[in-house]
């Protein structure tokens, strides 16, 4: 492994160990995507030969790609990790869904609220997640150990300064800490590392013929029969792949020929588009990620 990936790996393992050591009740947020796969791989390495000393938590909106859920269950059983899943039952009962509810409200209820409910239910104090600073401008400003006030709110104006490897993880009652071991990884680093370490990822990242419709200029995959087709919409087969994975109706695919990791890396070197541009929820309004984070979103 070259110095770039080596240094990232060392840094991430240090952060994961530090979070677990300082926590009374830690959890690792697992969203099934490539970043989560790398995070889980690093966390496993950090404690080898001992088993990962915290559970995984997946917030299930019930609208994830089917392949994601299959992959999640396979990974959990292979690793022997304890996997917790949580769905906002109240939101489900009210029929909140990504098609008719509006993406902002849907995300708020089924993702942000669901996450807060799950964290409160289990009383987790340190929540380790796979966010990266190169994903989005408000994430670019966030600390590695990022304090959440009562109600999981993020206050971007008063982040605790952190220097070198010194992190202040002291918590008052009601406060929690989000910890981001992958802060300094880029999308390219993630793929290079997955390649180097042979880390399994959901096949949706690789180009294949998939049924898609074009909505507002985005390629949306028809993943199950809950997809309500518009009058003039007919799914067509296109060779596409996903750069990020979320809820299938809100995650745009890109047309691509990249069927292998080296081909993805090749594609990234010439790519001129940011990775999260395929996430429709990020573009609800200007600064929308920042607003979501303030409210407690990851």
Partner 1 sequence: MSDTNLRVSNYLETPVLRIMTCGSVDDGKSTFLGRLLLDSGNVFNDQLKAIENTGRGTGSNRNAPELAFLIDGLKAEIEQGITIDVSYRYFFTQKRKFIVADAPGHAQYTRNMAVAASNSDAAIVLVDATSGVKVQTKRHLSILSMLRIDRLIIAVNKMDLAGFSRKQFRKIKDETARTIQSVYDHPCSFEFVPISAKEGDNVVRRSANMPWYGGKSVLELLEELEVDDSKASPFCLPVQFVARDSGKRYYAGTVISGSFSAGDDIIVLPSSKRTTVKRLSVAGRDVTGAEEGDPVMVELADDIDVSRGDRLVKSEKDLAQGNTLSCRLFWFGEKPAAAGNVCEMKFYSRRIRGTISQIREKFDLDTVRRIPADVLNQNEIGFGRIVLSAAHFCLPFNDSKDLGSFLVVDLGSGDTVGLGTIDSVESTGPTFPYATIVNKSMRASMKSQHPMLIWMTGLSGAGKSTIGNLLEQRMYESGYHTYLLDGDILRNGLNGDLGFDAASRRENIRRAGEAAKLLVDAGLIVIASFISPFMKDRSLVRSLFAKGEFCEVYVSAPIEECIRRDPKGLYEKVRRGEIAEFTGITSPYEPPVNPEITIDTSRCTPQEAVEQILNYLAED
Tell whether residue 203 is a contact of partner 1 (CB under 8 A). no
Of the candidate residues 151, 156, 174, 203, the single one contacting partner 1 (CB under 8 A):
156
Residues in CB range of 109: below 8 A, 6 or more apart: 88, 91, 94, 96, 101
Provide the mask over 94-133, with x wherever binding to partner 1 is found by CB under 8 A and - wherever it is not: ---------------------------------------x
State the sign of the Cα–Cα–Cα–Cα dihedral 68, 257, 216, 233.
negative
Cβ-Cβ contacts under 8 Å for 189 (sequence gap 6 or more):
4, 5, 8
* Bridge partners, 208 (sequence order): 240
Q: Out of 34, 222, 290, 292, point to the residue binding partner 1 (CB under 8 A).
A: 290
Please pick, from the candidates 47, 86, 206, 227, the single residue that binds partner 1 as defined by CB under 8 A: 47
159 binding partner 1? (CB under 8 A): yes
Report if residue 254 touches partner 1, rule: CB under 8 A.
Answer: no
Full DSSP string of 169-236: ----TT-EEEE-TTTT--HHHHHHHHHHHT----GGGS-EEEEEEEETTEEEE--STT----TT---E
Contact pick of 27, 32, 40, 46 for partner 1 (by CB under 8 A): 46
Q: Based on the shown chain and the rule CB under 8 A, indicate whether residue 2 belongs to the binding site for partner 1.
A: yes
CA-to-CA distance for 24 and 34, rounded, in angstroms? Answer: 28
Q: Of 30 and 145, which has the nearer Cβ to partner 1?
A: 145
Give the CA-trace dihedral at 180, 84, 81, 197, to 10 degrees. Answer: -40
- The residues binding partner 1 (CB under 8 A) are 2-5, 7, 9-10, 13-14, 17-18, 20-21, 44-51, 53, 133-134, 137-138, 140-141, 156-157, 159-168, 170-172, 175, 183-184, 186, 188, 192, 262-263, 265-266, 269, 272-274, 277, 287, 290-291
């Amino acid at each position: 492994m070259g110095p770039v990936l080596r240094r990232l790996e060392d840094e991430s393992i240090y952060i994961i160990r530090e979070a677990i050591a300082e926590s009374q009740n830690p959890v690792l947020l697992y969203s099934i995507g490539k970043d989560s796969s790398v995070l889980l791989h690093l966390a496993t390495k950090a404690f080898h030969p001992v088993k990962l000393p915290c559970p995984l938590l997946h917030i299930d909106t019930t609208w994830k790609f089917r392949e994601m859920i299959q992959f999640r269950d396979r990974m959990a059983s292979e690793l022997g990790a304890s996997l917790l899943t949580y769905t906002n039952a109240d939101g489900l009962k009210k029929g909140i869904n990504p098609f008719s509810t509006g993406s902002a409200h849907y995300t708020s209820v089924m993702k942000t609220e669901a996450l807060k409910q799950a964290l409160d239910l289990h009383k987790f104090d340190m929540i380790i997640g796979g966010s990266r600073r190169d994903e989005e401008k408000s994430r670019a400003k966030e600390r590695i150990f990022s304090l959440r006030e009562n109600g999981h709110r993020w206050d971007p104006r008063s982040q605790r300064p952190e220097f070198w490897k010194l992190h202040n993880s002291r918590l008052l009652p009601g406060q929690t800490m989000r910890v981001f071991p992958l802060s300094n990884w880029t999308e390219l680093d993630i793929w290079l590392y997955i390649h180097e370490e042979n880390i399994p990822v959901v096949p949706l990242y690789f180009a294949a013929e998939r049924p898609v419709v074009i909505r507002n200029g985005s390629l949306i995959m028809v993943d199950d029969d809950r997809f309500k087709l518009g009058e003039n919409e007919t799914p067509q087969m296109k060779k596409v792949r996903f750069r990020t994975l979320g809820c299938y109706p809100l995650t745009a695919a890109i047309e691509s020929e990249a069927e292998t990791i080296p081909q993805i890396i090749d594609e990234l070197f010439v790519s001129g588009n940011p990775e999260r541009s395929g996430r429709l929820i990020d573009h609800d309004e200007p600064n929308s990620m920042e607003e979501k984070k303030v409210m407690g979103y990851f």
